[in-house]
A and B are shown apart, each in its own frame.
Chain A
Amino acid sequence: MAEENKFTVSIDGISVSVDPGTTILNAARQIGGDIVPPAMCYYSKLEGSGGKCRTCLVKVSKGSEKDPRPMPKLVASCRTTVMDGMEVQNITSPEVVEARKAVVEMLLINHPLDCPVCDQAGECKLQDLGYEHGSAKTRYEFERRTFERIDIGDKIQLHMNRCILCYRCVFTADQITDKRVHGVIGRGDHAEISTYIQGVVDNDFSGNVIDVCPVGALTDKTFRFKSRVWFTKPVQAHCACEKCSGKVTLWYKGEEVIRVTARKDEFGEVESFICNTCRFERKATSDWTIEQPTAINPASVIGANHYEQFQPPAVISEDEKLQTANRAQLLRTEKLK
């Protein structure tokens, strides 16, 4: 034991010492980087979440210092707590990579893959996962299941076709709002998120279901089809709100705030839940105190158009033909200067 009351666990050969009771996933998040298992359903702010999507499966090759036997099956890292001396294999185990690929394939067989018209595209966990693990072709040759789109409340639209049944929105509705207004009905692959009665979601924090949704199943109707996310610029801002912390991210397109969301960390989890007034009503710059631009992962498509100016390579400024070919971008560079 490295320190008093700390467990040492090694994930893909990298050791970290964590508090007892930490899950493998959270231990991996403390290390960070590529070895963090993806999580579609786990949400650290929601009690009881996790264990369902199976994308975070890892192999425990050594149970603990006391009992070094490996665990017989792959385990969900989001719900398995670490033991002292545990050795976990994530991306170093072919078995895990294979299983994750299988799970991604399963998640995608009934997904409509309508990314070109989906508001979530660009910040979608399933898109990232599919890109990382999925194969280019599907082996599924049957009709995908479909549902009618429904409006739950006047600000939120539920697009059940895209849902992966992570239950995050159900936990959100259960835990941060006082009335249980929606849940899962049906069973198996015909299960659906539903409110039973359309439009019944009407409380001050219902909008948070949009933020917790890892895919485009729950979308903000005030933002719907306004813009692709990579054309918008996220900015940290706050306001003095009576209901919530008032700490948000504003998404600008030009001068206009077209969307307000809670602030998300690098794992896509919100820092604090925000109220519907902040989310849906306050859409003028004058409502907010701007802090700073939101840090964007350089690999993310959201940063692509904003934080990196087009720097023409030296060769372009010398060659006239190349200048004509890149005219549009060069003009833009001039304008931004």
Chain B
Amino acid sequence: MGRKLLLTHINEPGIHTLEVYRQKGGYRAVEKVLKQMTPDEVVEEVKKSGLRGRGGAGFPTGMKWSFLAKPEGVPRYLVCNGDESEPGTFKDRYLMTHIPHALIEGMIVSSYALGAHTSYIYVRGEMMPQIRILERAIQEAKAAGFLGQNIMSSGYNLEIYVQPGGGAYICGEETALLESLEGKRGNPRIKPPFPAIAGLYGCPTVVNNVESIAATVPIINDGGEEYAKIGIERSTGTKLISASGNIKNPGVYEIELGLPVEEFIYSDEYCGGMANGKRLKAVVAGGSSVPILPANLITTTAAGTARLMSYESLSDGGFQTGTMLGSGGFVAFDEDQCIVRNTWNFARFYHHESCGQCSPCREGTGWMEKVLHKIESGHGAQSDIDLLVDVAKKIEGNTICPLGDAAAWPVASAIRHFRDEFEWHIQHPGLAKTQNYGLAQYADPLQPIL
């Protein structure tokens, strides 16, 4: 059994209420930081823990906090990014639904560390039930004296507000989120300046993922060094993984980073293997924007070592033979799934969600979607594959925010690893409509990638 830090008491009845949450040791971290620690000590503790941002980029949280500008007389803000909309990722929603107080407690700890007196939780607009749950949790915490003026007689004041988003994927990008929070159109800002210098309302702001903020609670309770002992190399601690696709037991799992991918897929503690006795064909390891990997490359790296669930191991091999941990949206595909159709589906999503601000992403995502749809519906030409690779290459790296990259990577990687399936689709349009390419076609190990 892997150690659990966030979901320890997940099965406790009534854990969403303050009363049960406190019985299980909740709000100890708040007491500890307010009574025994200075804000800088909290930041130091988080730095020691090696916690890396759980939203996708994996930037060290403590480092991010220490970049926050602290000019005199200017308010600072902490914004929690609960705009979870990456296809395949649903861990934050789970956390907010079942243990809202873990997030509230983390918000208090983090706000204290940053010296923020107003903090926002930006929740995706579609998650109305979660917004109500959080609002009730805030009310409970306020009534118990964990929020408001002079919290626990420490002289520290904090208000937390929940802000529903409008439901745009792009508002999960931190600067677009800030724009949206300010009441404007959710277009990503051009960086620099980074939010740590000029963020919400032009003031220094830290934007953190729900899970990163919740993870500060066990870090404070047990100490940063203790937290850093879990995990492997620079991937410390535990991570929530949203497992979905053709596996026996889909759901949210808390894993210790460094767990072998093979064990995660096949052990009964986690996914429980593939459903219906099918074989694994491909895996999207960290939400729809990371490169898709075929079965042989997801379990072992190109160098032949076992691949682990960690930031480093998953990205081993770069974009040629590796992928990314991303936000932990683990989607497994069995042999019956069509990669072309799936890639088209992802491309359609990014086409729909591109904000339209910068040209390569606005036009390129639509172009890729149309070409993929053409291939999928049986009208493709052999040259379309190279066209897709070229368009993806032209979007990647030329845009303001990472949405362009996120749209380009799945397409580029699907073609890199499953080019024969795309070709088969084009050559046999009639057949492709009635049957799938199937894993059988991959009897030989995949072509070595140069």
Instruction: Show the binding face of A for B, using Cβ within 8 Å.
Output: 50-55, 57, 73-74, 76, 79, 99, 102-103, 105-107, 109-110, 139-140, 142, 164-165, 167, 183-184, 186-191
Contacts and interface: CB of A to CB of B under 8 A. Distances in A.
Interface in B328-373: 351-360, 362-367, 370
Most chain A CB inside 10 Å of its own CB: which residue of B190, B365, B400: B190
Contact of B362 (A51, A57, A183, A189): A189
A75 to B, nearest CB: 10
A55 B360 CA distance: 10
Contacts of B185: 183-184
B365 A107 contact: no
Interface in B76-90: none
Nearest to B387: A139
B398 A165 contact: no
B181 to A, nearest CB: 18
Interface in B402-426: none
B394 interface: yes
A103 B360 contact: yes
Contacts of B190: 50-51, 76, 79
A189 B363 contact: yes
A52 B358 contact: yes
Contacts of B398: 54, 57, 73-74, 99, 102-103
Given A139-B387, A188-B354, A74 B397 contact: yes
Nearest to B366: A189
A57 B366 CA distance: 22
A141 to B, nearest CB: 8
Given A51-B358, A165-B356, A107 B363 contact: yes
Contacts of B394: 99, 102-103, 105-106
A51 B360 CA distance: 12
B394 to A, nearest CB: 4
A258 to B, nearest CB: 33
B163 interface: no
Contact of A110 (B360, B363, B397): B363
B358 A107 contact: no
B320 interface: no
**Most B CB atoms within 10 A — which of A74, A102, A106, A107?**
A106
Given A51-B190, A54-B399, A107-B363, A187 B355 contact: yes
A107 B398 CA distance: 13
Q: Binding site of B, secondary structure by majority: helix, strand, loop or mixed? A: helix
Nearest to A143: B370
A186 B370 CA distance: 19
Nearest to A106: B363
Nearest to B363: A106
Given A51-B190, A102-B398, A109 B363 contact: yes
B364 A106 contact: yes
A125 to B, nearest CB: 13
B378 to A, nearest CB: 16
A53 B351 contact: no
B283 interface: no
Nearest to A99: B398
A99 B360 CA distance: 10
A189 B354 contact: yes
Interface in B240-255: none
A49 to B, nearest CB: 10
Given A106-B364, A139-B387, A188-B353, A164 B359 contact: yes
Nearest to B354: A188
A53 B358 contact: yes
A53 B358 CA distance: 5
Contacts of B432: none
B367 A109 contact: yes
Contacts of A190: 356
Interface in B41-68: none
Nearest to A51: B190
B200 interface: no
Interface string B8-43: 000000000000000000000000000000000000
B116 interface: no
B293 interface: no
B370 A142 contact: yes
B168 interface: yes
A3 to B, nearest CB: 25
A25 to B, nearest CB: 13
Contacts of A189: 351, 354, 356, 362-363, 365-366
